[in-house]
Homo-oligomer: A and B are copies of this chain.
Amino acid sequence: MRDRAVILVSGGLDSATVLAMARNEGFALHALSVDYGQRHCSELDAATRVCKTAAVKAHKIVTIDLRSIGGSALTEDLDVPRTGVGNSIPITYVPARNTIMLSVAMAWAEVLGAADVFIGVNAVDYSGYPDCRPEFISAFQQLARVATKSAIEGRTLQLHTPLIHLSKAEIIRKGMKLGVNYEQTVSCYQADPKGRACGVCDSCRIRRAGFVQAGVPDPTRYWQGT
């Protein structure tokens, strides 16, 4: 039997690439999406499409009500920035999101007897989120060594962050080689219910520039600003 791995799949470009990489490494794919009250459900629809195409063994969507916590443009009714990525962390930052999602992934991995968790964090072409940095990942890796029954029994969880040092263009090139269909993915902070992107928010701008730099036609469906 192939080793099981839990892969966090948001429905975006990065996590779709990570899913393909984990598949390429031969893992039995257990995809995990978190419904945290993001403003549009097209992200989760995209996650479902991506998981179906990748023929995952299981796709679990866990509900965590982060709307009741608030503090982000993605969980509250605030405008998302479209002015480009600056030096400060933008209001699309969701407090502790990756800590929460990795915690749930760790829980599921323990139940599955899986020793591997994949997450598509990226510290190059990103918005400066603290929980996308190598320091964060290595601190969570340390935590995983002591946090679970499995860890105590000697089965340490290994976090995989294969995109962390790649540019968006490099990620796209890697995914294209592995046959990822990026048309299925949604990166936009304010996609419409059909999953069409705005083309102007920071996430769209980073993604679009990535396709340009990769020299790959952008398959993203836009509802404006193309």
Give the B-binding residues of A (Cβ under 8 A): 60, 62-66, 68-71, 89, 93-100, 103-104, 106-108, 110-111, 130-131, 133, 135-136, 139-140, 142-143, 145-149, 151-152
Contact = CB atoms under 8 A, between A and B. Distances in A.
Contacts of A95: 106-108, 110-111, 148-149
Stoichiometry (number of copies): 2
Contacts of A62: 64-66, 68-69
Contacts of A68: 60, 62
29 contacts: A62-B66, A62-B68, A62-B69, A63-B63, A63-B65, A69-B104, A69-B108, A71-B107, A89-B149, A93-B149, A94-B107, A95-B110, A95-B111, A95-B149, A96-B104, A99-B143, A99-B147, A100-B100, A100-B103, A130-B146, A131-B147, A131-B148, A136-B146, A139-B139, A139-B143, A139-B145, A139-B146, A140-B143, A140-B147
A131 B110 CA distance: 14
B136 A147 contact: yes
A131 B135 CA distance: 22
Contacts of A64: 62-65, 104
A108 B128 CA distance: 20
Nearest to A100: B103
B142 A139 contact: yes
A148 to B, nearest CB: 6
A182 to B, nearest CB: 29
A166 B226 CA distance: 63
A223 to B, nearest CB: 30
B60 A96 contact: no
